[in-house]
Homo-oligomer: A and B are copies of this chain.
Amino acid sequence: MNVLIWNEFRHEKRANSKPKEIYPDGIHTVIAGFLEKNGMEVRTVTLDDFEHGCSVENLEWADVLIWWGHMAHGEVQNEIVERIHKYILRGLGLVALHSAHFAKIFIKTLGTGCTLSWREAGEKERLWNVNPSHPISQGLGSYIELQNTEMYGEPFDIPEPDELVFISWFEGGEVFRSGACWRRGRGKIFYFRPGHETYPIYYDLNVQKVISNGVHWAKSFKSDSDASCPNIPESIETIGVDK
The segment out of A29-37, A50-58, A164-172 that lies at the interface is A164-172
Query: Given A133-B91, A157-B185, A186-B133, A239–B112 Cβ distance below 8 Å?
Result: no
The residues of B that contact A228 with a CB separation of less than 8 Å are: 115
Give the distance in Å from the alpha carbon of A237 to the alpha carbon of B157 in the complex: 24
- Tell me the residues in window 220-243 of chain A with beta carbons closer than 8 Å to chain B beta carbons: 220-221, 223, 226-243
Taken together, the copies of this chain in the complex come to 4
Question: Given B111, B177, B242, which contacts A111 in the complex, CB threshold below 8 Å?
Answer: B111
Query: Given A167-B167, A184-B111, A130–B156 Cβ distance below 8 Å?
Result: yes
Q: Is the C-beta of A204 less than 8 angstroms from some C-beta in chain B?
A: no
Interface contact B171-A154, CB-CB below 8 Å: no
Interface contact B116-A148, CB-CB below 8 Å: no
Q: Is the C-beta of A17 less than 8 angstroms from some C-beta in chain B?
A: no
Give the distance in Å from the alpha carbon of A118 to the alpha carbon of B223 in the complex: 21
Query: Given A112-B184, A160-B162, A243–B133 Cβ distance below 8 Å?
Result: no
Q: Is the C-beta of A174 less than 8 angstroms from some C-beta in chain B?
A: yes
Minimum Cβ distance to chain B for residue A231 (Å):
6
Question: Given B132, B153, B159, B235, which contacts A159 in the complex, CB threshold below 8 Å?
Answer: B159
Q: List 5 A-B pairs, minimum CB-CB distance, nearest first.
A: A133-B186, A172-B235, A122-B242, A111-B111, A115-B227
Task: Name A residues whose Cβ lies closer than 8 Å to a Cβ of B.
Answer: 89, 91, 102, 108-113, 115-124, 126, 128-133, 135, 138, 142, 148, 151, 153-157, 159-160, 162-164, 167-175, 177, 182-187, 220-221, 223, 226-243
